[in-house]
Amino acid sequence: SPSSSSSSSSSSNNHDQIHNPDKSVDAGDSKEVTCIVDFDPSRLKQIEVPKRHRLPMDAQKKGIKPNDDFFTEYGEANRYQIQEVVGKGSYGVVGSAIDTQTGERVAIKKINDVFDHISDATRILREIKLLRLLLHPDVVEIKHIMLPPCRREFRDVYVVFELMESDLHQMIKANDDLTSEHHRFFLYQLLRGLKYVHAANVFHRDLKPKNILANADCKLKICDFGLARVSFNDAPSAIFWTDYVATRWYRAPELC
């Protein structure tokens, strides 16, 4: 029928807008962005990476291997060799690990009891779906999502990300000698990443230094899309907005 055909076409276009954001930008309306083509990031002084507070693993008890403590139920766990826990929060823990297939160092986010609260599960699903489609150098990359051995035992979610050394919040606190060139390069990466995200009609809604990962070489990546929303008709007013939007001190003035 015409209506079903239209619906199918609309759905296809919507997915394409997220997967390939550049298609959603009207070249006639967009202003040209001047790139820093002559800027060499290697000229920048490396920034100090604050030491992470290493969190002891229960696995350090006698007879328990780190992998056995971190991976509670997954057969795929033999692919990764856990090094240490580098972050902990209400959602669960983040561990650094070695991918034995590629030799890469990765970060594995373990989200405990993901189905206990519907709102948390929805937020996690939203972030995973968006990050699997948003492929850009300035957006953190999901490398792998570990599947449970069977659905009946599906309690925890393990998401494998590229490993970054710290976040912008900690970097700013640890470095009081950042130059204007550092600031320019940080801003350039953030604006380039946001241009890509916004071109896909995705609104992050919680952009702050703690949600921007950073390395000593000044490379930044936007992360944590749990509060993000997508608009398929170019009208932000059509999005279902929640009452809680972003962190208080980083909200847009009209939301305060």
139/193 Cα distance (integer angstroms): 6
Q: Is 108:160 a contact under the CB 8 Å cutoff?
A: yes
146/129 Cα distance (integer angstroms): 14
Instruction: Give tens-digit pLDDT for 60-101.
Output: 444 345 566 677 656 677 889 988 888 887 678 899 999 999
Instruction: Give tens-digit pLDDT for 171-218.
Output: 999 888 888 899 999 999 999 999 999 999 998 988 999 999 999 999
Annotate 209-236 with DSSP letters as a single string: GGGEEE-TTS-EEE---TT-EE-SSS-G
Within 13 Å of residue 177, how many CA atoms lie on the same side as its CB?
Answer: 5
pTM score, whole prediction: 0.73
On average, the pLDDT of the chain sits at 77
Report the pLDDT value the prediction gives residue 16, as an integer from 0 to 100. Answer: 47
245 or 129, higher pLDDT: 129
- Within 10 angstroms of residue 83's Cβ, the number of other Cβ atoms is 15
Report the pLDDT value the prediction gives residue 35, as an integer from 0 to 100. Answer: 52
Structural domains in the chain, CATH included, are 38-47+166-255 (1.10.510.10), 58-162 (3.30.200.20)
Q: Which range has the top average pLDDT, 44-58, 176-190, 241-255?
A: 176-190
Name the binding residues: 110
Helix axis angle, 2-19 to 118-133, nearest 10°:
80
Catalytic residue numbers?
A: 206
Q: Is 84:95 a contact under the CB 8 Å cutoff?
A: yes
Mean pLDDT value of segment 107-127: 90
Element (H, E) at 180: helix 180-199
Name the binding residues for ATP: 110
